[in-house]
Structure 1
Amino acid sequence: NVWCAAGKGTFGTAELVHRLQLTGLAQVVSHRRLILPQLGAVGVAAHEVQRLTGFTVRYGPVLARDIPAYLRAGLRATPGMRRVPFGWKERLVLTPMELVGIWKPTLGILAALAVLDLLQHRALTPHLAGELVPVVGAVLAGGVLVPLLLPWIPGRPFALKGAIVGTLWAALAHVLLPTGLVEGFGIALIAIPLTSYMAMTFTGATTFTTYAGTLLEVRW
């Protein structure tokens, strides 16, 4: 999203100036005004853009659907256009993006578990389900459940929120699935870090996590 890109520099002053020069926009349009997304402001120094390109930066509404109304109002934004909605629906819409990035590593883990089951039992056994379900559940818990329940999960760090949900999922999986104590610890060792990691990657999709805070959490 724009906020994440602006925070890490891929939507910033240097990139904007580079694109303006690369496209030759000054030769295409007669005016010298740029309307940028409001959430891109954290990465753009408007005075530098004007100094280097001659274009004046105006920050438009948060949502692209409000741009026509913003233009009709003479580049004036209403308070509603400046507000960032981030309820459960907005959070849930972002979850597919989180899952797309993790499906390949997840398939790798599932394949490794299947191979181990084959080596141990000479065939795929029902016992394998007790190993695969916790992994898939951990991915869904971190990628879907954490964003959905974000305001109500204790703790500030997203990794901690994910670890809490992962612990609860590991305990539930141990109760519901036919696993022993050793297997239960194994489930926890896989589920908790995986869910914690999935939750941590959601920081870039939120509207309130700072870039510095995200870096600190990743380093931690």
Structure 2
Amino acid sequence: MWRKSQRSRTMNLTELKNSLISFRCLMLRYNPIRYPVGLVSLGDPGPESPVLVSGNYFHTVRRLMKTLADTDCYLLVADSAGINVWCAAGVCDFNEHKIADAVNSCGLSELVSHRRLILPQLAAVGVDLAALRRECGFNGIWGPASLKDIPEFLDGGRDIAVKMRKIGFPLEDRIYNAIGMFNVFLIIPLLLALAGRRREAHFALFANFVNIFANFLLYFRLPFKYPSNNSLLVGGIFSCAYLFHWLIDRKNHILKLPGLIQGLAILIFSNILVSIDMLGSTPFYKTTIHHWLVSGDNSSLFQPSVTESCIGCGRCRDVCPGALFEKSGKVVKVVEQSECCECLACVKQCPVGAIVNGGTGFKDDIKSIDISLANRRSPEGRL
């Protein structure tokens, strides 16, 4: 009885500790915490139980464990430098070598009779499946883009429906992003308060709160297509509100003209910083700061085009988080070229190099592929 009570207290303390760490990940998303690398048994797994692979971003692993709580399976946590697999794979922090190291170090081949690993689809930009098989003897298959679809994927014979391949932006993820971004931008009102500019600090705090949370919570309802442009709109409204506040208080001489100019400059500067951060804070669009500033266009510079060398294997379709590719027989075509998020998973996974750039440029922030592949253009610059 004493031992059972002791174990219960230990489990409660561990759960409390993990919850506090998850809360820290939520509040400080730019300073993630690493989950220990290794094999986690969920439920009562056996030799035929599926093996799912994850990076070691603490918050993601905890969410996976919650999602798979009723599933008998193994969760293989591989090193991703403590960040999410999409970002980690793009900069070579999550690849076939990291996964093979995790497989070999935990003795997975002795625990399961099969040789299959279910990999996160968003890691496709950084994982070479053939090299993975050579290094550890396991075959990798791509799971859903979102972890919430994993139970359905496992129950459905591990067939991927189109809706499982396409990345979404549910409310839970938008709230998580909003809280993380807002906490980062607390530095601006804090510095203003320390400098004795309390009025400007209050305006900046409130403006950033409404700007960031409105952009994420009302993401699909705001007037502009791109979040950075909506951020400028909301920030502009608050700058006008600040000016109006100055005008109605002017007779009391609370603020003078230099103070107005300084206050507006602070709000505009803060708004531009938030808008720039919005360029890469959603799963849909990614572009350079220069391209957005000169054009107001947040769409990706890279736009995939399929050349005649395509063999119709459909691997590009299987890993595209935007569901931009369609396959009919041996024919693969791009159906939504302008909606590319420039993750370049299609370029990484194409075995014959048939994916080229039909757009006007390339952001050049993906390090897991040969840059020359991403820079290749179709002769006509389009499909």
TM-score by length of 1: 0.72
Q: Which runs of 5+ in 1 are unaligned?
A: 118-127
1:11 to 1:205, Cα distance in 2 relative to 1, 3 A: farther
1:85 aligns with 2:168: yes
DSSP 3-state at the match of 1:76? coil
Q: Quick check: 1:198 aligned with 2:274?
A: yes
Question: Is residue 183 from structure 1 mapped to residue 183 from structure 2 by the alignment?
Answer: no
Q: What code does the residue aligned with 2:261 have?
A: F
The one-letter code matched in structure 2 to 1:134 is F
Listed one character per residue, the Cα deviations across residues 43-62 of structure 1 (whole Å, up to 9, x for unaligned) are 32222222322221111112
Residue 307 of structure 2 corresponds to which residue in structure 1?
A: none
- Is the aligned partner of 1:37 residue 2:117? no
Tell me, yes or no, if the aligned pair for 1:6 and 1:42 is still in contact at 8 Å: yes
Higher relative contact order structure (alpha carbons within 8 Å, sequence separation ≥ 6) = 1
Deviation at 1:142, TM superposition (A): 4.1
Q: Which residue does 1:61 correspond to in 2?
A: 144
Kindly tell me the number of residue pairs found equivalent between the two proteins.
Answer: 201
Verify the 8 A CA contact 2:189 2:200 in the aligned structure 1: no
Contact 2:279/2:285 (CA < 8 Å) preserved in 1? yes
Aligned to 1:58, the other structure's residue is in SS state: strand
Shift of 1:13: 3.6
The structure with the larger Rg is 2
- Take 2:264 and 2:180, find their aligned partners in 1: how far apart are those partners? 25
Select the residue among 236, 239, 242 that pairs with 1:173. Answer: 242
Equivalent in 135, 147, 167 of residue 52 of structure 1? 135
Which amino acid letter does the alignment assign opposite residue 88 of structure 2?
A
CA RMSD of aligned residues (A): 3.2
Residues 64-93 of structure 1: per-residue CA shift (max 9 Å, x gap):
222122112221122332232236665344
Matches within 5 A, 1:45-194: 45-86=128-169, 90-103=173-186, 105-106=187-188, 108-114=190-196, 128=198, 130-150=199-219, 152=222, 154=224, 158=228, 161-176=230-245, 178=249, 179-194=255-270
Following superposition, the deviation at residue 95 of structure 1 comes to 0.9
The answer as to whether partners of 2:242 and 2:264 remain within 8 angstroms in 1 is no
Q: Separation in 2 of the partners of 1:82 and 1:65? A: 12
Answer whether contact 2:231 2:275 (CA < 8 A) is retained: yes
Runs of 4+ in 1 over 6 A off after TM superposition: none
Residue of 60, 77, 95 corresponding to 1:12:
95
Normalised to the residue count of structure 2, the TM-score between the two structures is: 0.45
Q: Identify the residue that residue 124 of structure 1 maps to in structure 2.
A: none
SS at match of 1:84: coil
Q: Which residue of 1 aligns with 2:65?
A: none
Which is richer in helix? 1
Structure 2 gap ranges (5+) = 1-83, 250-254, 294-383
Q: Which has the higher strand share?
A: 2
